[in-house]
């Protein structure tokens, strides 16, 4: 199945929630775990138990694993392997962005099915130029994977770059969105190239109908609510929306059952809204 078809199927089966796996020190402490490789292993295994095959999308944040060095990366590899092919799609939050052979190497590392780190989709940054993302797009196409490109992010510093106006008269964000839309044109049920658009960006005149999925951070603990989802994305097919949340669900831990219940409850809330 194409990535777009898998996104649609997973969303219709489970709902739009994309649960982040963010083992930062404060959350490990909240769960009664040490900020150590052993604590990381326990945290990751509990998330797999709670979410695999229960939610449509799971988004590990690579940095929180990488900070433990090679042993942390090994935990990330196991987490990815345990999550994939359970019905949940793995979106690895890496925000990579580079040029030429380096971009191609990153793409191979995360999107080639022969890689031990292969996932269903990754996040990337377009700010070395949209064309530098070509290796990610090409590798994703070969492996029926997806790519989420930063466009309108929820951090307060983002407008300085993303709202800047280019020579074409479009904003930087608008240019990214337009190029994604062109790349996805004609693909059903949606294209494999998505955009990252925050739930807390406020009003926007940008065209968010890019013919592909949207990864929506900022929901829940960061301040975004169902009203923001309706206002910004209510005109789009709901199966294209991946509503990303971490703390709102992870704060229910460390019990796997409680974590699962929190994610399922949030899915039901969003389906009813």
Domain locations along the chain: 3-272
* Res 95: pLDDT: 97
Q: Which two three-digit tokens encode residue 131? A: 């064309």
Give the per-residue pLDDT at 221: 65
Q: Which tokens in the block code for residue 271?
A: 């389906």
Q: Which two tokens stand for residue 231?
A: 């206002």
Asked whether 108 and 133 are in contact (CB, 8 A), the reply is no
pLDDT for res 202: 85
Q: Beta-carbon neighbour count of residue 38 at 10 Å?
A: 11
pLDDT of 272 reads: 80
Sign of CA dihedral 195, 196, 199, 201: negative
Q: Is the CATH code 3.20.20.70 the one for domain 3-272? A: yes
In this predicted model, what pLDDT tens digit does every residue of 21-38 receive, in sequence order? 999 999 999 999 999 999
The residues pairing with 148 across neighbouring beta strands, listed in sequence order, are: 123, 194
Active site residues: 95
Evaluate whether 12 touches 239 at the Cβ level (below 8 Å). yes
224-232: list long-range contacts, CB under 8 Å, 24+ apart: 224/154, 224/198, 224/199, 224/200, 225/199, 226/269, 226/270, 226/273, 228/199, 228/200, 229/199, 229/270, 229/273, 230/273, 232/197, 232/199, 232/201, 232/204, 232/208
Q: Which two tokens stand for residue 142?
A: 């070969």
How far apart CA 43 and CA 66 sit, in angstroms, is 15
Give the C-alpha separation, 217 to 244, whole Å: 5
**pLDDT per residue as tens digits for the range 149-168:** 999 998 989 999 999 999 88
Ranges under pLDDT 70 in the chain: 221-223
- Residue 226: its pLDDT value, please? 84
94-119 as b/e, with b when 16 or more CB fall inside 10 Å? bbbbbeeeebbebbbbbbeeebebbb
Q: What is the pLDDT of residue 224?
A: 73
Six-digit token string for 251: 């704060």
Predicted model pTM:
0.96
β-pair partners for 195: 149, 214
């Amino acid at each position: 199945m194409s990535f777009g078809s898998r996104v649609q199927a997973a969303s219709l089966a489970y709902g739009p929630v994309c649960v982040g796996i963010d083992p930062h020190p404060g959350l490990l402490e909240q769960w009664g775990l040490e900020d150590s490789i052993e604590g990381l292993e326990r945290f990751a295994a509990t998330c797999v138990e709670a979410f695999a095959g229960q939610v449509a999308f799971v988004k590990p944040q690579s940095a929180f694993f990488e900070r433990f060095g090679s042993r942390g990366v090994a935990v990330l590899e196991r987490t990815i392997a345990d999550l994939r092919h359970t019905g949940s799609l793995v979106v690895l939050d890496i925000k990579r962005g580079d040029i030429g052979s380096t971009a191609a190497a990153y793409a191979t590392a995360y999107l080639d099915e022969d890689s031990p780190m292969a996932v269903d989709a990754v996040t990337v940054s377009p700010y070395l130029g949209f064309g530098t993302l070509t290796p990610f797009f090409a590798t994703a196409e070969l492996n029926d994977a997806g790519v989420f490109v930063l466009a309108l992010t929820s951090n307060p510093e983002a407008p300085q770059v993303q709202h800047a106006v280019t020579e074409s008269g479009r904003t930087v964000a608008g240019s990214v969105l337009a190029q994604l839309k062109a790349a996805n044109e004609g693909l059903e049920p949606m294209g494999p190239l998505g955009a990252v658009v925050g739930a807390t960006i406020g009003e926007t005149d940008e065209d968010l109908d890019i013919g592909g999925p949207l990864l929506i951070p900022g929901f829940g603990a960061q301040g975004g609510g169902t009203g923001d989802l309706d206002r910004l994305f209510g005109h789009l097919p709901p199966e294209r929306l991946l509503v990303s949340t971490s703390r709102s669900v992870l704060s229910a831990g460390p019990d796997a059952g409680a974590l699962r219940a929190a994610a399922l409850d949030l899915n039901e809330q969003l389906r009813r809204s």
